[in-house]
Amino acid sequence: MKRYIEFSFYLPFFDLIEDTNEVFCLEELMRQLNIRFNIMELYDRYISYGEGPCRAGQGDVFVFFTKDDKDSFILIDLFNDFTDQHNMVKLGVRCERKHDKWIRNILNNIHSRAEIKSKIKESDDDLLKSEISSEDYPKEIRYGDQKYMKNIYYNTI
């Protein structure tokens, strides 16, 4: 059995950040993983990409590592797909299996309260770990004749 497990799903950014229960859950997730970042700065960064149709094709990936294990992290992908109409973001968590019960419960709580969401993906195949490789960024995202350069930031908020 592998040492790490990964979870990810999509939900509206504002369901993750503005709902009192989700903020508490996000804070609890951070506490369980010994990760600190400023939720309001993440909110400000998200808002800085713009609103409405001008926001399409904007956004970057933010990765927050645990203090004592660089293989455990929270990933929040703020990229707004060109066809997205619901402000969907990706929430990903990679943690040691010894924490998976607590993390699974917190993520299920966040997931169950989200108005719109994807299924939760659970994997031990290191998909999130490979997704955050700095060698893959910036990524060029194309939609028709439009393009955007998606960046990744580590522990910057």
pLDDT tens, the chain, 157 aa long? 689 999 999 999 988 886 565 558 888 999 999 999 998 999 999 999 887 777 788 899 999 999 888 999 999 999 988 877 888 999 999 999 998 899 999 999 999 988 899 999 999 999 999 999 888 899 999 888 888 899 999 998 7
Amino acid at 99: H
pTM of the full structure: 0.92
**C-alpha span between 43 and 25 (Å, rounded):** 16
The sheet with strand 121-123 has its strands ordered as 121-123, 4-12, 88-96, 73-77, 61-65, 152-154
Q: What 8-state DSSP symbol labels residue 80? A: B
Contacts (Cβ under 8 Å, ≥6 apart) of 34: 66, 67, 68
Contacts (Cβ under 8 Å, ≥6 apart) of 149: 138, 139, 140, 141
Q: How many Cβ atoms from other residues are within 10 Å of residue 29's Cβ?
A: 21
* Residue listed under structure tokens 């859950």: 25
Residue 76 exposed, middle or buried by CB count within 10 Å (0-12, 13-18, 19+): buried
